[in-house]
Structure 1
Amino acid sequence: MRTPHLLASACSASDPEARYHQAELAIWDELSRSLAEYPQIWRSPEEGAMVLGEEVDELWDEIRGNHVGRARAEAAQVGAMALRFIADLYEPTGSARRRCRTAAGEQHDALALAGPRDRQFSSSHEAFGFLKREYDALWSAIRFDEPARPIAARVAAMAVRFIAEITGASTAVAVAVR
């Protein structure tokens, strides 16, 4: 787990808004690590979607294994790659940090559009289903040459919700989705 301090904070925060904020920080931490390790810019939407798809597959593996903590860490990687998709493919100018801040703003705005409204996810399987549906929509948009940017923001928003709402706790926590 590359961002354990942030993921632990998101898991233990009692304030719902703090949980989402900590989840966004976990994704930002993962994104910063990715940019440092792999500074080259993705050259095509297909390349970006395949890298993102690899992270989605790794998330599913952790969910199937009932490894909630590792699944949350994978969700941070999914969110980071979704932001990177926007930053690398749709923000052609400026520093990587500025491009990624723009993408993070889009992800934040998409929180209200992602997943079930007015309720928390009931399980990691349900949360993954919503995230996978958004990823599939992204791939479809690329395939049919349609706008993929807003869908990538929803994939990142689903990753935020996964981290903030799937805690492994046996009791449900009431959370107001923005």
Structure 2
Amino acid sequence: MRTPHLLASACTASDPEARYHQAELAIWDELTASLVEHPRIWRSPEEGAMVLAEEVDELWDEIRGNHIGRARAEASQVGAMALRFIADLYELDGPGGARERCRAAAVEQHDALALVGPPGRPCASSHEAFGYLKRELDALWSAIRFEEPARPIAARVAAMAVRFIAEITTSSTSVAVSVR
């Protein structure tokens, strides 16, 4: 995990806006590190979506193991790859380099925060938050399959990752399932 200080801040901040800001910073930290480690630009929406899907699968593994701290770190990687999706596939003609393209993607992610997750309330559990994130990923795949605009949906995936980090803390209650 590259951003333990940011994730810890997001977890303990009493001001909700500060938690969202810290979550966005955690994603930005992951994004800039990914640009250094993997500077190659994705060549197709399918390639980008597969990398993003891999990160979502890793997030699910941590949720199932009830490793909330590691799940939040995985969510920052999901958000970073969603921003890379936008920056690498849709901002190629923009001014400046990769960081400027990523900044434009981060603005779209921030604007999409109000559009994702349960309206008017925080996510109740890591399972619920993951369900909303997975729904956005499924919508991204659908857009790619039917050659519809995928860019705004990638911003929604990143926005849901922000919500996961900001709203799901180590003190969150897990979903209890009762079998009769």
Give the TM-score normalised by the residue count of structure 1. Answer: 0.95
Runs of 4+ deviating beyond 2 Å: none
Alignment correspondent of 2:47: 47
- Give percent identity, aligned residues only: 85
Which string of whole-angstrom CA distances, capped at 9 and with x for unpartnered residues, describes residues 62-85 of structure 1?
Answer: 000000000000000000000000
Q: Deviations over 1:36-92 (max 9, x none)?
A: 000010000000000000000000000000000000000000000000000000001
Q: Secondary structure at the match of 1:86?
A: helix
For structure 1, the residue ranges without an aligned partner over 5 or more in a row are: 172-178
Report if aligned partners of 2:125, 2:172 keep a CA contact under 8 Å in 1.
no
1:139 to 127, 137, 141: 141
Task: Report what 2:91 is aligned to.
Answer: 91
Counterpart amino acid of residue 18 in structure 1: A
Which deviations, in whole Å up to 9, do the C-alpha atoms of 1:149-178 show, x marking residues without a partner?
00000000000000000002157xxxxxxx
Q: 1:149 aligned to 142, 151, 159, which one?
A: 151
Aligned length: 171
Alignment of 1:1-178 (within 5 A): 1-93=1-93, 94-170=96-172
- Give TM-score scaled by structure 2 length: 0.94
Aligned CA RMSD, in angstroms, stands at 0.8
Partners in 1 of 2:127 and 2:170 — Cα distance? 12
How far apart, CA to CA, are the structure 2 residues paired with 1:170 and 1:96?
36
Residue type of the partner of 2:121? R
- Rounded to whole Å, the distance in 2 between the matches of 1:151 and 1:170 is 27
Give ranges in structure 2 of 5+ residues lacking alignment: 174-180
Q: Distance in 1 between matches of 2:168 and 2:79?
A: 15
